[in-house]
Structure 1
């Protein structure tokens, strides 16, 4: 009889009691995870409400206001699948749409991702490596950044790390098909969250192909093919919408929803690595320092793969998960630009896990070298967190608040672009529905958004909110607020002659102007008074 099967009196414990004690002992050994999760919570909650809601977040909020059936419909016309918006819809119903609440949903999935990262490393390396992975992942700037945003990237990382853990369990225990059931469910959830999930699928298949020489030949097992077939089957309801979206790529480009990503250069790949770890492109650094980080990481990845003597090559899996999506997107982007760091945030989660394994190995041979490597990496991450927390005092919410405070009944509010429109809708408390300025294009074509991309969120209210010319407001409106970028050229030029500017307020890179609208006779009188005032000043 083992000691843990006896109580203090020496009597034998029941099997249930012994099992409970064993569980408590396991939990007691894992208490070190609590401070790591507290650290992750602090760095994600701190500053989470400091920045104003921006265009993409505003579009998430507007999408979530629809019923689940309409979310499905509009998301099919958007460039992202519906799951995140459906979850946000439910979250807001329960917790409200305050800025802390709506961003805390991403904070929670970010915390879950940290726990999953620790779990993954504990499966493929030592406990010490798992602790290091937790600390480094808790402070990973790209993960913190998108754990503070009302978008789907943090959720996607959570699904895909979870799916990778399920894959590891199955690789270790191929007869346990329940792991593949969990894998299929998590991968399907991720596919319903973001299309770049396909890159993680590519990573997993590549890994299994690389170990195909093993005696088990896991990639050839029917269970693996059935699991992936189940993913396809569960995703089938969404495939018609995806095909329809792909057929309207040109319309999406015309609306600016795709095609806005800049072309890649030779600097794009190392700059993305810097974005992951420091939230800057690194181009302002000395060239030797700029290239040293990505080159060092590439060498480290190679060493990790080469030294992986495990029967399942699970360190190789982690390296493939981390680097293959980045390399594939970089190469594809030479033909069709797709390289945006937030789309690849899920793969960036692997960087601190790899470094934790390397630092743990270094510590066995040279403690000082390991400590220096850890300190250097933490320094880079701290610099990224500092960048993340830096926000301007003059942000878009201040502009909307100014209008809210000075608005009077029957004022009209006109926003020049969808980029500002979604955020304005979130902060607007006047009760008035803001109008969207949609002047004809230079070639005479309509300037209104199409039915795909962001346009799907507002086209249903076209007759209520679209304003093709300022003259359409007529003289029944006495005051008009014009909201636009403060940079030239003026999005609203030319201003009607019977409008008089009475105030202008610049907030950051945006501007709001208040105009009074006169009837033609009043306009001439106002113009005359204006000239007389000018003469008196002269």
Structure 2
């Protein structure tokens, strides 16, 4: 795709006078300079690399790292049993082969597409609005808290945002020049990759179709873009490229009960009408805002909604591109909210890619208002940047000493050969194995349910990532091999009874709590380990 645009659409900083540009490398350099692209990308890099390794790897990230350890063929199989398609994990597999699995390395794999996405946002707004709006969009995107947060996690959300925004950019090029097939080829490729990254790509498809269905949206010869054969062929090609994964998706849907049994789906809280404004607050300040005064809690999201609706209603951008941005941002938000009344899936990270449109909308509106309502424009800019500042502060509010990694390091340091390590919860297990530096294979505690049924995970969801051998699962503490006579129990900090009742003859000799987890070291009476601890009194 060419990084260029029609000269008449490139304005000075005030958006008034066209700026001519050259072609090729000279044109690219001119665009980088004119749109302050380098400082904008540096700002995006700073926000995404700042404290990149402060928070410990959590359960979802641990699952990404476990899945990426398999071969590509095995990743395809295990991803088919998980709740996400395989592309991200395959790419992460290759990244780790090249750069290792250190926390900085694996999180950089998310930070880089997050930075690229900011550049794509500048490019997109430069195509549809003024230079000032494009620069402003870049700054607001660089500071968007939800985008920053998920550019710092070993998950697929930053990659998804880059692919969807790139596909939307290709769509803009095609709408401007529908006779150019190459833009639809790029669109098809990016959308196909996005479908192999996350199932919520379907909402982007709906947003694009809604945009093309807008009244009055026609090509230069007056034909409806939605009816062009090339558009239908592109979407048919996306379907064909996705067909290899469809059997895996259908199999996953047939086993939804197994996913629910493992807690991989169905854990999301039910939605209420307050969930919608809470989501807007979450995307912007990383807090649901439930402690805010009611008028503010409702008023700010309504204001942003009104501003977005105004851009769509009074859309005088070429080809009604304002409607495209509003459709991209709001349609998925409202659709996922509506679906969640049936099956709750209204989770911030699932919508982060679509929240990318909000800073671009605000930038275009602020740029317009600076010409006609300067005070209102400045007020909106200050409001939005202030909200982003609060969100960024909440993002970096991490106590590095209150992390699960601290607890695991404690076990690593005090581990002795022959020690047994038992973990109470799957999410803790997924994090623990990343930081484990001992020669012991941690075991997952799976006591029988009250009705006597097994609580072992099945082969769907996170269960597909855990060894299927009995060596990993421990149904009863009394069945634990004695080994050195020392046992580490790792569980939730405020629920020590999750291992109760402890077998007779177990004595706690050490413990450490961090990151809502607690590791307790026990020694068994009758074992040689008792001699190491004078405080242990055995009968």
Is the TM value for this pair above 0.5? yes
Q: 1:529 to 1:217 in 2, by over 3 A?
A: closer
Report deviation, 1:30: 3.2
Match for residue 4 of structure 1?
none
Are 2:213 and 1:209 aligned?
A: yes
* Structure 2, unaligned runs of 5 or more: 1-21
Deviation at 1:21, TM superposition (A): 7.7
User: SS in structure 1 opposite 2:248?
Assistant: helix
Q: 2:50 corresponds to which residue?
A: 46
Select 1:91's aligned residue among 95, 107, 128: 95
1:120-135 → structure 2 map (5 Å cutoff): 120-135=124-139
Q: Say whether residues 1:457 and 2:465 are aligned partners.
A: yes
In the alignment, what sits opposite 1:233?
Answer: 240
In the other structure, the counterpart of 2:485 is 478
Measure the CA separation in 1 of the matches of 2:336 and 2:483: 54
What is the deviation of 1:476?
4.2
Tell me if 1:411 matches 2:419: yes
Counterpart for residue 12 of structure 1? none
Give CA-to-partner distance per residue, 1:376-428, whole Å, 9 cap, x none.
21111000000000012211000000000000111111111111001100001
Among 310, 335, 343, which residue is 1:336 paired with? 343
Please say if 1:138 is aligned against 2:142: yes
The CA distance in 2 between the partners of 1:322 and 1:528, in whole Å, is 62
SS state at 1:276 partner: helix
Distance 1:28 1:249 in 2: 48
In structure 2, C-alpha distance between the alignment counterparts of 1:298 and 1:458, rounded to whole Å = 44
Q: What are the equivalent positions in structure 2 for 1:307-322 lying under 5 Å apart?
A: 307-322=314-329
Question: Within 5 A, what are the aligned runs for 1:422-437?
Answer: 422-437=430-445
Which of 407-416 and 506-515 deviates more?
506-515
How far 1:528 sits from its partner (Å)? 13
2:454 matched to which residue of 1? 446
Q: Does the aligned pair in 2 maintain the 1:211–1:313 contact within 8 Å?
A: no
Q: Distance in 2 between matches of 1:453 and 1:415?
A: 18
- Per-residue deviation, 1:213: 6.1
Shift in Å at residue 459 of structure 1? Answer: 3.7
SS class of match (1:502): strand
C-alpha deviation, 1:447, in angstroms: 1.1
Q: Measure the CA separation in 1 of the matches of 2:536 and 2:326.
A: 73
Task: Provide the rounded CA distance (Å) in 1 between the counterparts of 2:230 and 2:107.
Answer: 39
Cα 1:28–1:180 change in 2 (3 A) is: closer
Partner SS for 1:188 = helix
Q: 1:72 to 1:291 in 2, by over 3 A?
A: same
**Equivalent residues of 2:285, 2:387 under 8 A apart:** yes
Q: Is the 8 A contact 1:106 1:151 kept in 2?
A: yes
Name the residue aligned to 1:262. Answer: 269
In structure 1, C-alpha distance between the alignment counterparts of 2:28 and 2:444, rounded to whole Å? 59
TM score, norm. by length of structure 1: 0.92
| Alpha-carbon contact 2:35-2:134 (below 8 Å) kept | no
Matching residue of 2:3: none
Distance 1:492 1:120, change over 3 A: same
Residues of 2 paired with 1:476 and 1:510: CA distance? 24
Asked if 1:115 is matched to 2:119, the reply is yes
2:300 to 293, 313, 325: 293
* Alpha-carbon separation, structure 2, partners of 1:165 and 1:344: 19
| Higher mean C-alpha displacement, 18-27 vs 374-383 | 18-27
Asked whether the equivalents of residues 58 and 422 of structure 1 are also in contact (C-alpha less than 8 Å), the reply is yes
Partners of 2:129 and 2:317 within 8 A in 1: no
Unaligned runs of 5+ in 1: 1-17, 533-538
Render the CA deviation track for 1:115-143: whole Å, top value 9, x for unaligned. Answer: 01111111111110000000000000000
* Residue aligned with 2:57, SS: coil
| Contact residue 268 and residue 347 of structure 2 kept, 8 A | yes
RMSD: 2.1
Distance in 1 (alpha carbons) for counterparts of 2:268 and 2:429: 21
3-state SS of 1:490 partner = helix
Write the distance in 1 (CA, Å) between the matches of 2:168 and 2:195. 14
Once the two structures are TM-superposed, the CA of residue 245 in structure 1 deviates from its matched residue by: 0.3
Is the Cα–Cα contact under 8 Å of residues 32 and 38 in structure 2 kept in the other structure?
Answer: no
2:484–2:529 Cα contact (<8 Å) kept: no
Q: Distance in 1 between matches of 2:406 and 2:526?
A: 32
Shift of 1:369: 2.9
Instruction: Provide, for residues 450-479 of structure 1, a one-character-per-residue CA deviation record: whole Å limited to 9, x for no partner.
Output: 00000000143x322111111112444411
**Paired residue for 2:162?**
158
CA drift of 1:529 comes to 7.6
2:279 pairs with 1:272: yes
Which of 373, 379, 386 is the matching residue for 1:379? 386
Aligned partners of 1:439 and 1:446 also within 8 Å: yes
Corresponding pairs, count: 512
After superposing the two structures, state which structure 1 stretch, 302-311 or 192-201, moved more. 302-311
TM-aligned CA distance change 1:25 to 1:400, over 3 Å: closer
1:78 counterpart = 2:49: no
Larger Cα-atom Rg: 1
Alignment check: 8 A CA contact 2:217 2:320 kept = no
Q: Are the structure 2 counterparts of residues 25 and 427 from structure 1 closer, same or farther at C-alpha, using a change threshold of 3 Å?
A: closer
386-395 vs 207-216, which deviates more? 207-216
Cross-structure match for 1:7: none
- Name the residue aligned to 1:185: 189
Q: Could you tell me the TM-score, scaled by structure 2's length?
A: 0.92
Q: Which residue of 2 aligns with 1:401?
A: 409
> Is the 2:259–2:461 contact (alpha carbons within 8 Å) kept by the matching residues of 1?
yes
